[in-house]
Amino acid sequence: MTRLACRRCGLALTLMLLGGCVYLPETTARYNPDCGIYERKAIMQAHQVGSLMGCQDEGCAVLLVAAGAVTAASAVISGSVVVIGNIVYWLEKQGQCVNSPHKPGDAEVSSAK
């Protein structure tokens, strides 16, 4: 097998494994008793939307490339939404948490001279 044929087989296998999936952001919430608030967190979940069955030759290659492009685009967009969402949720938590965590040994130092 030539190098080009090996690359094509590897690309086809990769796209076949990715094809038919999209990544969507999902938000989870859990109660934090120390702060008295619900903390939210965004995560990415993969969802299968279909499978490629019965394709042949060139048509199959086109479908695999299209499915791979959709998967990659959804991963980039959803990943961006998750990162930005988690930053916003973290800032929200910092503003709402009444009991801010203190490290052991931290003490207020008075500057009396």
- Distance (Å, whole) CA 105 – CA 78: 41
- Smallest CA-to-CA distance from 19 within 45, 44, 49 is with 49
pLDDT of the residue at 111 = 46
- Distance (Å, whole) CA 72 – CA 78: 10
pLDDT of the residue at 19 = 54
pTM as predicted: 0.61
Cβ count near 49 (within 10 Å): 12
pLDDT of the residue at 81 = 94
Cβ count near 66 (within 10 Å): 13
Write down the domain spans for the chain.
Answer: 22-96
pLDDT of the residue at 78 = 93
Local mean pLDDT, 10-residue blocks, the chain (113 residues):
59 54 90 88 85 69 79 90 94 80 48 45
pLDDT of the residue at 82 = 95
